[in-house]
């Protein structure tokens, strides 16, 4: 192992970045062994608790300062510093030997950044490498070749990265590093497939997957893709989603593609599963039925993909995934509908109907003035409207030990409203805050404590107002 320490005036936080794609190499000829370069403080931060996890999913290999700063701040709770490790499968071919760490070390809250270049699968067992990762609070996978990263499945490296997330740290990456951070990985081990090839044959020999590696909280059944618009990858993501459904790679009858654009696009995901897009657009592509045709040697046919376009600043709730706000596109015999990257979101997607109905009675803008929904029969429909841009409608409900409640709200196009579930003291337990007028909201919660508890559903205006009614179906299971 070649080791080199470079000392700088480091910012306070230390993050462990795992550079799997653009590996850090020492000066001089390439080494067969793993190469290590550390920037910043030579001593790791020691702290008993961290506030993550947090994740960054980037459209190309570069670190995006805005989303990385968000991850650093979330993990350290805006106090102290942390360590980052970057993992790469090959060294940069030009310029700096530590491009990712160069950016990370300019950010507030970083104690150190260590770049590792790993050129063989056995490098994943390196004891110094795994010590660096486990002592870090963030691991960043560089751009490069995700097949090299997939080869580390089941190695000590995988377990070390998972330990970082488990202690409240984070993981992320760009391009190949974005791919490896989804539970269903298009691994490109047979080659890189184009959209035209994947649509013409979803079982093209270039399409292969790795599963069972990283399964991050709230991110189930997802296939990541990168360089999304520039390289026109919507079509191949549609094929990946169809394959995940057909081959049983996803569960629950749904598979989700997450494509992020290059040039600064980054999807930040917090510990509650709420994602925020930075820099450039991202797309969430849902397939929620079996493909009409997905067989080897024949073109793909799949109707009604549901697509959410996430412009910078837009949020998407992966914990309580939205049921509205998408536009639809399909594929027939390998030919896609036009305008894959733009569409008018559907805002009246409906929700299941209930038995009893309870209409709000103003004023019900506080817990003490909440409408009493404790006696309504499940499923029940709760209705009201946002009388002003600051309106809040509270409904009081109860839930016994071991019981689950789910709430689905159809929001009219006149305004954007959010949905919260709080405990009796007003602390938020669950939330659904999808952006956009007419975008539906949904959440679920299970009471694990003994006895029966009192809770409050809070429907509140985020922007706009009007007399049009929202309709929330409240179910106890």
DSSP SS3 for 256: strand
Beta strands in 67-186 (DSSP E): 82-90, 110-117, 138-141, 170-174, 184-186
Q: Tell me what pLDDT residue 465 has.
A: 92
Domains and their CATH numbers in the chain:
2-336 (3.40.50.880), 356-476 (2.60.120.380)
Q: Name the one residue in this structure whose structure tokens are 């959010």.
A: 418
In this predicted structure, the answer to whether residue 340 has a pLDDT above a threshold of 70 is yes
At 371, list the tokens: 């409408």
- pLDDT > 70: percent of the chain: 92
In this predicted structure, the answer to whether residue 18 has a pLDDT above a threshold of 60 is no
Q: Which of 161-170, 198-207, 357-366 has the lowest mean pLDDT?
A: 357-366
Q: Tell me what pLDDT residue 347 has.
A: 78
- Across the chain, what does the average pLDDT equal? 90
Q: Tell me what pLDDT residue 148 has.
A: 97
In this predicted structure, the answer to whether residue 413 has a pLDDT above a threshold of 60 is yes
> Which residues are registered as beta bridge partners of 286?
256, 306
Average pLDDT over residues 147-153: 97
Please list, residue by residue across 197-207, b when 16 or more beta carbons sit within 10 angstroms of its beta carbon and e when fewer do: bbbbbbbbebb
Query: Which H or E run includes 405?
Result: strand 404-410
Three-state secondary structure of 216-232:
CCCCCCEEEECCCCCCC
Give the β-pairing of 170-174 and 54-58.
parallel
In this predicted structure, the answer to whether residue 349 has a pLDDT above a threshold of 70 is no
Cβ neighbours of residue 423 closer than 8 Å, sequence gap 6 or more = 429, 453, 454, 455, 456
> Which residues are registered as beta bridge partners of 285?
257, 307
> Which residues are registered as beta bridge partners of 415?
464
What are the Cα distances from residue 24, in Å, to 79, 114, 122, 354, 386?
Answer: 29, 9, 17, 58, 55
CA 278, CA 265: separation in Å to the nearest integer? 6
Give the β-pairing of 371-372 and 404-410.
unpaired
Give the β-pairing of 170-174 and 138-141.
parallel
In this predicted structure, the answer to whether residue 353 has a pLDDT above a threshold of 70 is no
Q: Tell me what pLDDT residue 354 has.
A: 44
Alpha carbon distance, N-terminus to C-terminus of the chain: 56
Q: Tell me what pLDDT residue 193 has.
A: 98
DSSP SS3 for 465: coil
Instruction: Count other Cβ atoms within 10 Å, centred on residue 53.
Output: 24
At 420, list the tokens: 């919260």
What are the Cα distances from residue 338, in Å, to 12, 58, 87, 147, 349?
Answer: 49, 26, 39, 32, 22
In this predicted structure, the answer to whether residue 468 has a pLDDT above a threshold of 80 is yes
Among 148, 178, 175, 150, residue whose Cα is nearest residue 61: 175
Higher pLDDT, 370 or 7: 370
Average pLDDT over residues 155-175: 98
CA 473, CA 405: separation in Å to the nearest integer? 10
DSSP classification of residue 459: E
In this predicted structure, the answer to whether residue 28 has a pLDDT above a threshold of 80 is no
Average pLDDT over residues 180-195: 97
Higher pLDDT, 285 or 9: 285
DSSP classification of residue 91: -
CA 320, CA 56: separation in Å to the nearest integer? 19
Backbone dihedral angles phi then psi of residue 195, each to the nearest 5 degrees: -60, -45
- The two most distant CA atoms of the chain are separated, in Å, by 75
In this predicted structure, the answer to whether residue 13 has a pLDDT above a threshold of 70 is no
- pLDDT > 90: percent of the chain: 75
∠ CA(387), CA(393), CA(399), 5° rounding? 160
DSSP SS3 for 378: coil
Cβ neighbours of residue 452 closer than 8 Å, sequence gap 6 or more = 398, 399, 400, 401
At 395, list the tokens: 């409904």
pLDDT band of residue 355 (cuts 50, 70, 90) is low
pTM listed for this prediction: 0.71
Query: Which H or E run includes 305?
Result: strand 302-310
In this predicted structure, the answer to whether residue 338 has a pLDDT above a threshold of 70 is yes
> Is there a cis peptide before residue 53, judged by omega within 30 degrees of 0?
yes
In this predicted structure, the answer to whether residue 433 has a pLDDT above a threshold of 90 is yes
């Amino acid at each position: 192992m070649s080791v080199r320490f470079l000392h700088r005036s480091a910012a306070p936080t230390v993050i462990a970045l795992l550079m799997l794609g653009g590996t850090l190499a020492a000066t001089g000829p390439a080494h067969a062994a793993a190469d290590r370069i550390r920037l910043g403080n030579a001593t790791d931060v020691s702290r008993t608790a961290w506030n993550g996890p947090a994740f960054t999913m980037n459209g190309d290999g570069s670190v995006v300062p805005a989303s990385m700063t968000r991850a650093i701040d979330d993990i350290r709770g805006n106090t102290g510093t942390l360590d980052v490790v970057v993992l790469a499968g090959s060294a940069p071919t030009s310029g700096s030997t530590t491009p990712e760490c160069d950016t990370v070390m300019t950010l507030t809250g970083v104690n150190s950044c260590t770049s590792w270049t790993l050129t063989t699968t056995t490098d994943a067992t390196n004891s110094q490498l795994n010590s660096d990762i486990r002592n870090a609070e963030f691991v960043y996978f560089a751009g490069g070749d995700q097949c090299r990263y997939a080869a580390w499945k089941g190695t000590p490296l995988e377990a070390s990265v998972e330990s970082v997330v488990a202690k409240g740290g984070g993981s992320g990456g760009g391009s190949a590093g974005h791919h490896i951070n989804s539970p269903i990985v298009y691994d490109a081990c047979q080659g890189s497939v184009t959209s035209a090839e994947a649509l013409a044959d979803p079982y093209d020999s270039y399409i292969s997957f790795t599963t069972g590696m990283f399964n991050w909280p709230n991110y189930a059944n997802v296939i990541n893709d990168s360089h999304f618009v520039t390289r026109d990858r919507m079509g191949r993501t549609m094929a990946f989603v169809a394959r995940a459904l057909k081959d049983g790679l996803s569960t629950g009858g749904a598979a989700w593609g997450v494509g992020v654009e290059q040039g600064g696009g980054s999807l930040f995901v917090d510990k509650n599963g709420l994602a925020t897009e930075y820099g450039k657009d991202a797309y969430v592509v849902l397939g929620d039925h079996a493909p009409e045709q997905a067989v080897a040697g024949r073109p793909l046919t799949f109707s009604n993909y549901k697509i959410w376009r996430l412009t910078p600043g837009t949020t998407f709730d992966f914990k309580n995934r939205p049921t509205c706000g998408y536009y639809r596109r399909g594929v027939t015999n390998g030919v896609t509908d036009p305008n894959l990257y733009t569409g008018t979101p559907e805002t009246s997607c409906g929700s299941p109907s209930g038995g009893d109905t309870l209409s709000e009675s103003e004023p019900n803008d506080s817990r003490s003035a909440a409408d009493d929904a404790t006696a309504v029969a499940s499923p029940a429909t709760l209705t009201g409207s946002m009388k002003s841009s600051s309106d809040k409608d509270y409904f009081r409900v109860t839930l016994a030990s071991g019981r689950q409640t789910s709430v689905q709200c159809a929001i009219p196009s006149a305004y954007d409203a959010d949905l919260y579930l709080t405990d009796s003291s007003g602390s938020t337990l669950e939330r659904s805050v999808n952006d956009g007028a007419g975008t539906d909201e949904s959440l679920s919660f299970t009471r694990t404590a003994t006895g029966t508890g009192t809770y409050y559903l809070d429907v509140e205006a985020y922007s706009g107002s009007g007399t049009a009614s929202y309709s929330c179906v409240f179910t106890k299971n």
